[in-house]
Structure 1
Amino acid sequence: MIYYYLLFLLLAAGSITWFVWFLFHKAWQGGLIFSSLNFILLEARFPRILETIDRQQELSALASMEQFYNTLDSVLKKNKGFFQPRPSIIFEIAVSEQNDHIVFYTAVPRWLQKTVERQIQGFFPQAELEWVNDYNIFARPGAFAGSILKLEKSYVLPFETYKTLATNTLAIVTNSVSLISERGEGAAIQILVKPTHFTAKHDARKVIKALTLGRSFGDAVKELSGPVAFLETLDWIFNTLGFKKERKEPPPVNPALSPEAQEIIKAVETKTRQNLFEVNVRILASARTIDRAEEILTNAENAFSQFQSPNLNDFYALRIYGKKLKKLAYNFSFRLFNENEKVMLSAEELTSIFHWPIVRLETPKIKLLKSKQAPPPAIMPSRGVILGKNQYRGLETVIRIDTADRRRHLYIIGQTGTGKTSIMKSMIKQDIEAGNGVCVIDPHGDLVESVLGFVPENRAQDVILFDPADAEWPIGLNLLEAATPQEKDFAIQEMIAIFYKLFPPETMGPVFEHNMRNAMLTLMADEMNPGTLIDIPRIFTDRTFASSLLIKVTDPLVRDFWEKEMSKMTEQYKSEMLGYLISKVGRFVENTMMRNIIGQPHSGINFSEIMDNGKILLVNLSKGRLGEMNSTLLGLIIVTKLQMAAFKRATERNEETRRDFYLYMDEFQNFTTDSISSILSEARKYRLNLIMGHQFIAQMPEKIRDAVFGNVGSMVTFRVGADDAPFLVKQFAPIFTEADLINIDNFHAYVRLLVNGATTLPFNIKIEAPPPSSAEAAERIRNLSRQKYAKPRAAVEEVINKRFGK
């Protein structure tokens, strides 16, 4: 009876043991699935390395990756619970079936994300990590193939690593997947890494001992498993329990070691001294057909043959088929570690099969950082206009520039479509909403049209729209309208500078300047009823008109010009001089649209009032509608009038009572002369704060270029061309390089910002464009501006015709 009782107890104990094991296994499997669902997928991007480095520098860079793996050993041993397996970190080189970019991914447990990110960016500060959604390599419809990598020999023997191989091991791996089509094909090399609690030193001693006795490596590793290992274990147990007395055997006689044996012993010692990791290496490929999928897979498998060496270890690819292939795809998708697939690798070996592109890599299609990132200064203004946001190592910082620093002006450069207009539009919107005075000079028209549509209702009355193409409602613009001798002198100097800007210098000269200066002084003599630019040809051809103007002239030198100098000129000389004048001024007089604007004796816009009262002046100088010459002339006149207003209030108002006014100029080089250097160099004095944008440096005359780079406080650089990068990099070194300036993405920029009067180190920003504007609101404000500042075309032409006696 007792035997049945014992049998029952044994069966019960067995059942309970099985049930406990079953629960434990389920919990363990549940832990695996739970862990896989809590992975964060990070896309790792590195700057493209263009410089060629020597072998020693390359080894030093790769040693950083080896150190990184060693650091992971301690990080990953921090478990999260009894039923959770030791965490893995997964490194992947993948090509999605949606595109042909080769992308480096790193999957980490959610609770380890910040720790691992800090480790990565501690070792590789240039890395950019972005949390992304999972990718898909499997084509639909299509087929896929897969394999795992195993070691040919015992794990204690390493394969040949990056330290002895002459080529960049990563290049061969990435090249193997670089010929995948953009659509319908995909591939991934997945490397799951977790630390091991197993120590290899005991196994290493056994193998080395056997090798020193003259045995082959194959015979030596047999002692690590099988009957010999089992008997040795029993022998150790008996000795430990005291059941067996230890026999003293004579020391073995070691035969002379062959060079091959010495190499193997050294390799085993080197590997087993390092931290070891349990590793799964999977390769999967997908395509429309199974033949193509297997072709892609074979290419990827062959990349690992580079680690082969006669006396060392080697990888072999174990192809997986049928249900096991589906299981492999399942484990791949959920990033589950499989104990049956594991190989034991050192940090040096891991570095050899996977490292990020931290040395020069010429494989095409790798998704790299086009440009670097850098952190903003620690102290940033909490108020002021927002330029954009800095994103650096997962932190987002709003970048502002305050009013005091804006008085030192802002310079923006970048190719078409990179974001210049967007940053201007955003700043203009903020200025308008803040109640600031603004002028926008736009040579394309799109910017002004957008701004019109987002002017809030409470500022609609402040808008003055100057749109020359609106020919039925011209607004007068007279540069010869000046009140003081200083204003007259500045206006004349600027008008001559404008002609030099518009026409080839060889067609000008001292005589032209002399005649133009006296003509304009004469036309400006009657301050209540000044002449205009269209009167310049007439003053030389119509004696009656000239005589009527001389009545108001008090300057003796100007009177002498007409009464003595002109009276002695021959008719031929007068004819030649008139030809010069007509060739310069005539084209504007003969154009009806331009004549109706510059032919009005009184400007429809009071520029001093605009600046002092914080109005909104929007200037649409679309070259496509006006013509380049007309657009440039009108822009130059408006900038001159703004400068005159700024100079005027510098003498009439206390500095503290001068209201800041913001002048935005796109393609600013078209609308400025050398006199702009006064505004740039004496910013606080005038409170006319410039925001200047354009496309490339060669557009600027040398004097204006020197004034800009010598005086501008803040600078924003979007992507520029190869010709501009060498010049601009001086402003952004040593943080950013020429390659960064050339390759930065659209709507991203580098900023050298003035903060509290001091220039900061440059950093990157991302631009966020304002929302679309309202076409209905734009039209409403356009009509309001017409009624307040423009005149009907018929009324303007009637006045001009009357002045000309028609």
Structure 2
Amino acid sequence: MIDFLVGGGVFAVIAVIPLVGAAVCAALIGVRFARHHYLSREARLVEILPPPQASLAHATAFWNHTMGLLKPRWSRWLVQPHLALEIVASPAGVRFQVWVPGIVPPGTVERAIASAWPGATTSTHAVAAGESPLPQGAYTTGGLVRVGRGEEFPLRTKFDDDPLRPLLGALEDLEEGEHCLVRISARPATGLRLARARQAAARRQGHPGLGTMLLDAVDPTVSASTQRRVPVLPGTGDDVRAILTKASSPRLACDIAYILTTTHQGDAAKERLRGRAHGVGSSFAAFTSGTNHLDRRFMLAPTWWASNRFLGNGFLLCTAELAGIAHLPTDTCVPGLARAGARPTAPSPAVPRGGENARVVGDSDAGVRRPVALGVAEARQHTHILGKTGSGKSTLLANLVLQDAEAGRAGLVIDPRGDLVTDILARMPEHAVDKVVLFDPDDNAPPPRLNLLQGGDADFVSDTVVGIFRRIYDQYWGPRTDDILRAATLTLTRAKDPGLTLGHIPRLLADDALRQEVMGKVTARTGEDEALEDFWDWYSGLTMSARSAVTGPVLNKLRTALLRPWVRQVVASGPSSVDLPTLFDTGHLVLLRLPKGRLGEDTSSLIGSFALAATWQAVTARIHTSEAQRKDLCAYIDESQNFLNLPGSLEDMLAEARGYRLGLTLAHQELGQLPADLRKAVSANARTKVYFSASPDDAASLQQHTLPVLGAYDLTNLGAYQAVVRPLVGAKEQGAATVRTRPLPPGVTGRATQVRKAARRHAPETAAQPPARGVSPSPGRPLFQQRPFTVTDTRRGKRT
């Protein structure tokens, strides 16, 4: 050995040491790049839409959660995954995303984000290895950010405002073609590296380090003299406390980089981009504390850094420091930043998923995707559907009706626009084709007849007709109009003649002979009615001009509807051609297509209200049937504010309807459409709520039904065909949940025509025959264009 050293072996060893060192360094670098390549396989990008409100505490919770990525001790030396939070800015706006290595189980980071930032939504897609979030540019620049002092010293963690505000401000007003990427990479740190902070604190307190103790073992005098020459400086205690405070928190190895690119060429574009990069790098000065700060460093090959989420040794940050740098904005207003919509919320496990006795509303958009259904029995306690135009109400209604048709359940649909019934007809199940009754003014065939004055309690019918007219024409209603219409309807109804209709009211008021004939029928069937006779005696004593004055307002309102041939055929052409109680008991669907553009708003409201009144008469007739034998019936009423015109309290009606197994599904656009009493009744008695996107004013009121799970912000930021459902299960109202309603199934070619042809059997076969001379209208003639009739002025003895 001595001969080897003397013979020049020393110089050979010295020459080999650099080569060995270079080989070791190359091997380490190779291992790191191999790890990076391994982590990049099947990697994912999780794009985050921030919630309306966020705080640094939320970010701290997220980065604490990432400590769960720490692999077992025996496998850490092979590979330890890291995450990269990226802020990507362009002229289109700013977005936040997290790069996730392929070895991290799917859903882990997404759930961590959802739990750390309540209300945030995520979308995940695969990203190829080496895929850059920035487009290829003509010029690219960037920089690295490192701690200015030792990594054991803490950065600033207390802020009055959002610490990202300077950075986001530097990213505003990007020109077309300019893009910026800020990336913060982090992975859990362990082992000896964490212990160095405590060792640094000990050295600052004057305690000997490992080197000092080794030197002391060799020569204690040298060590002692050295310690005497190292004084403890003022402020060292503060430094030690700061180091130990940071050391007591979970820490991560971090790296910060920013890259900017532009597609423009030329010196001007390059200088502008360099100035922008200077502003981005300078924004990290916001994290300067009394003990440490962040420095900008030169970046070699920025294009490579943009394409590779590489993390070397990095520098240590505790979770509070990292949360200050890498978090979702806490400012409520950030230009160009898209916010999350409603908070996705999973339904209660008690909510049914479907089945024979449930109607599926949609699918949950939080947690495990599952159907969300409403029980048929719970529907008897009514459903309130509210949402803006185009939010998805009609699609939901059509799906619910089609499910009833498939299950053979009876239903009533009132559609004031026309599209709802059209969609239902095109998708009607084949076995339900023969169970449809259709009222449609655009159908060439005669419509079914629905004589509201036929059958039922005369007083109830009269109250219903008068109440409907009074609610629709509330601004033009007076006591005399009420008096005339009530007496006329009572007279026609008490005559118990199925051929008498609303169309006879004008002739009843004008033709003395007809009036006497009808009153004779009333007397024959019910005995003398002094109140009615006194009224008609008073009426007969009026002059012609006085009669015109008192009947004009009544006839004006009747003409609004009855001058339309289709309306006249439905309500004023003779006895009813459909038996609603039987139809509902046998699972038929009664569809009323009442487009306001075709009939007029008042006429559409009038016919829809008549149909609802007839339905109410049909279900109240079930009082003589045991509750177990009553069939479920659901009335779907779109633009419901136009048709809830029945007399009496809606609150009482909703309460009674449950016993008759009638469930009302009331849909409309905004709360302001409902009168105060109606709004209160719907709020209290429609126990299942389905809310699509609502206005801010409505959301402030509706959130009383969805809190504490979902608030006003969620109700105003629902997406298209996304709804909040607060279901009733059993007798208990469950917590609110968000769902995605299902699109309509594709229409069946020719099905609508098939249904229309089958429904025509409910139309009257022939025109109604007059039950008695002068009572019914002549076939084929309008009610207001009958043959001349004689009117006697009893005061002047004239005949006209």
**Which of residues 296, 318, 323 is equivalent to 1:351?**
323
Per the TM alignment, residue 639 of structure 1 is displaced from its structure 2 partner at its CA by 0.5
Matched AA of 2:277: L
The 1:131–1:137 alpha-carbon spacing in structure 2 relative to 1, beyond 3 Å, is: closer
The 1:794–1:600 alpha-carbon spacing in structure 2 relative to 1, beyond 3 Å, is: closer
User: Does residue 42 in structure 1 map to residue 18 in structure 2?
Assistant: no
Q: How does 1:509-524 map to 2 (within 5 A)?
A: 509=479, 511-524=480-493
How many Å separate the matches in 2 of 1:761 and 1:15?
69
Q: How does 1:425-504 map to 2 (within 5 A)?
A: 425-470=398-443, 473-482=446-455, 484=456, 486=457, 488-504=458-474
Give the aligned partner of residue 54 of structure 1.
none
Q: Look up the SS of the partner of 1:431 in the other structure.
A: helix
How many Å separate the matches in 1 of 2:192 and 2:203?
20
User: Does residue 145 in structure 1 map to residue 141 in structure 2?
Assistant: yes
Per the TM alignment, residue 498 of structure 1 is displaced from its structure 2 partner at its CA by 1.2
**Which of residues 241, 257, 266 is equivalent to 1:282?**
257
Q: How does 1:753-792 map to 2 (within 5 A)?
A: 753-774=727-748, 776-789=750-763
Matched AA of 1:145: T
Q: Is the 8 A contact 2:462 2:486 kept in 1?
A: yes
Per the TM alignment, residue 622 of structure 1 is displaced from its structure 2 partner at its CA by 0.7
Matched AA of 1:187: C
Q: Is the 8 A contact 2:495 2:519 kept in 1?
A: no
The 1:18–1:282 alpha-carbon spacing in structure 2 relative to 1, beyond 3 Å, is: closer
Q: Under a length normalisation based on structure 1, what TM-score does the superposition of the two structures give?
A: 0.84
What is the Cα-based RMSD across aligned positions, in Å? 3.7
Q: Look up the SS of the partner of 2:396 in the other structure.
A: helix
Give the aligned partner of residue 662 of structure 1.
634
Unmatched runs of 5 consecutive residues or more in structure 2: 770-775, 789-800
The worse-fitting range, judged by mean Cα deviation, of 469-478 and 794-803 is: 794-803
The 1:442–1:136 alpha-carbon spacing in structure 2 relative to 1, beyond 3 Å, is: farther
Give the aligned partner of residue 297 of structure 2.
318
Give the aligned partner of residue 620 of structure 1.
593
Give the aligned partner of residue 29 of structure 1.
33
User: Does residue 381 in structure 1 map to residue 360 in structure 2?
Assistant: no
Q: Is the 8 A contact 1:137 1:185 kept in 2?
A: no
Per the TM alignment, residue 563 of structure 1 is displaced from its structure 2 partner at its CA by 5.6
Q: Is the 8 A contact 2:62 2:112 kept in 1?
A: yes
Give the aligned partner of residue 167 of structure 2.
173
The worse-fitting range, judged by mean Cα deviation, of 738-747 and 137-146 is: 137-146
Give the aligned partner of residue 508 of structure 1.
478
How many Å separate the matches in 2 of 1:604 and 1:184?
71
User: Does residue 799 in structure 1 map to residue 795 in structure 2?
Assistant: no
Per the TM alignment, residue 329 of structure 1 is displaced from its structure 2 partner at its CA by 2.4
Q: Is the 8 A contact 1:193 1:277 kept in 2?
A: yes
Per the TM alignment, residue 293 of structure 1 is displaced from its structure 2 partner at its CA by 4.3
Deviations 1:161-182 (A, max 9, x none): 132x44321233333324336x
Per the TM alignment, residue 425 of structure 1 is displaced from its structure 2 partner at its CA by 1.7
Q: Is the 8 A contact 2:462 2:493 kept in 1?
A: no
Q: Is the 8 A contact 1:79 1:87 kept in 2?
A: no
Per the TM alignment, residue 124 of structure 1 is displaced from its structure 2 partner at its CA by 4.2
Q: Is the 8 A contact 1:412 1:693 kept in 2?
A: yes
User: Does residue 62 in structure 1 map to residue 39 in structure 2?
Assistant: no
Matched AA of 1:40: R
**Which of residues 97, 100, 103 is equivalent to 1:107?**
100
Q: Look up the SS of the partner of 1:378 in the other structure.
A: coil
The 1:294–1:614 alpha-carbon spacing in structure 2 relative to 1, beyond 3 Å, is: farther
How many Å separate the matches in 2 of 1:14 and 1:188?
38
Q: Is the 8 A contact 1:474 1:791 kept in 2?
A: no
How many Å separate the matches in 1 of 2:116 and 2:377?
39
Give the aligned partner of residue 217 of structure 1.
none
Give the aligned partner of residue 742 of structure 1.
716
**Which of residues 66, 69, 86 is equivalent to 1:72?**
66
> Aligned residues, how many?
755
Matched AA of 1:316: D
**Which of residues 347, 356, 364 is equivalent to 1:390?**
364
How many Å separate the matches in 2 of 1:526 and 1:801?
23
Matched AA of 1:658: R
Deviations 1:600-622 (A, max 9, x none): 11223321122111111111111
User: Does residue 605 in structure 1 map to residue 578 in structure 2?
Assistant: yes
Per the TM alignment, residue 116 of structure 1 is displaced from its structure 2 partner at its CA by 4.5
The 1:185–1:690 alpha-carbon spacing in structure 2 relative to 1, beyond 3 Å, is: farther
Q: How does 1:147-296 map to 2 (within 5 A)?
A: 147-159=143-155, 161-163=156-158, 165-180=159-174, 184-196=177-189, 197-199=191-193, 201-202=195-196, 205-206=199-200, 209=203, 233=211, 249=224, 252=228, 257-258=233-234, 263-289=238-264, 291=270, 293-296=273-276
How many Å separate the matches in 2 of 1:602 and 1:123?
67
Per the TM alignment, residue 459 of structure 1 is displaced from its structure 2 partner at its CA by 1.1
Q: Look up the SS of the partner of 1:438 in the other structure.
A: strand
The 1:589–1:270 alpha-carbon spacing in structure 2 relative to 1, beyond 3 Å, is: closer
Per the TM alignment, residue 756 of structure 1 is displaced from its structure 2 partner at its CA by 1.4
Deviations 1:112-139 (A, max 9, x none): 4455455545544444444245596423
Per the TM alignment, residue 264 of structure 1 is displaced from its structure 2 partner at its CA by 4.3
Q: Look up the SS of the partner of 1:799 in the other structure.
A: coil
Q: Is the 8 A contact 2:251 2:319 kept in 1?
A: yes
Per the TM alignment, residue 190 of structure 1 is displaced from its structure 2 partner at its CA by 1.0
Matched AA of 2:291: L
Q: Under a length normalisation based on structure 2, what TM-score does the superposition of the two structures give?
A: 0.85
Unmatched runs of 5 consecutive residues or more in structure 1: 50-57, 214-222, 224-228
User: Does residue 688 in structure 1 map to residue 662 in structure 2?
Assistant: yes
Matched AA of 1:42: V
Q: Is the 8 A contact 1:473 1:792 kept in 2?
A: no
Matched AA of 2:40: S
Deviations 1:344-396 (A, max 9, x none): 32223212211234x4443223232232233322322243111112232x322
How many Å separate the matches in 2 of 1:765 and 1:337?
40
The 1:293–1:722 alpha-carbon spacing in structure 2 relative to 1, beyond 3 Å, is: same
Give the aligned partner of residue 555 of structure 2.
582
Give the aligned partner of residue 795 of structure 2.
none
Q: Is the 8 A contact 1:138 1:287 kept in 2?
A: no
Q: Look up the SS of the partner of 2:451 in the other structure.
A: coil
User: Does residue 411 in structure 1 map to residue 384 in structure 2?
Assistant: yes
Give the aligned partner of residue 328 of structure 1.
305
How many Å separate the matches in 1 of 2:753 and 2:36?
62
How many Å separate the matches in 2 of 1:146 and 1:282?
7
The 1:143–1:389 alpha-carbon spacing in structure 2 relative to 1, beyond 3 Å, is: farther
The worse-fitting range, judged by mean Cα deviation, of 619-628 and 360-369 is: 360-369
Per the TM alignment, residue 28 of structure 1 is displaced from its structure 2 partner at its CA by 5.2
The 1:64–1:700 alpha-carbon spacing in structure 2 relative to 1, beyond 3 Å, is: closer
**Which of residues 340, 345, 351 is equivalent to 1:369?**
340
How many Å separate the matches in 2 of 1:514 and 1:575?
15
Q: Is the 8 A contact 1:665 1:693 kept in 2?
A: yes
How many Å separate the matches in 1 of 2:160 and 2:482?
72
Q: Look up the SS of the partner of 1:111 in the other structure.
A: coil
How many Å separate the matches in 1 of 2:144 and 2:574?
86
How many Å separate the matches in 2 of 1:792 and 1:33?
84
Q: Is the 8 A contact 2:402 2:429 kept in 1?
A: no
Matched AA of 1:146: G
Q: Among the aligned pairs, what percent are the same residue?
A: 23
Q: Is the 8 A contact 1:650 1:685 kept in 2?
A: no
The 1:374–1:545 alpha-carbon spacing in structure 2 relative to 1, beyond 3 Å, is: same
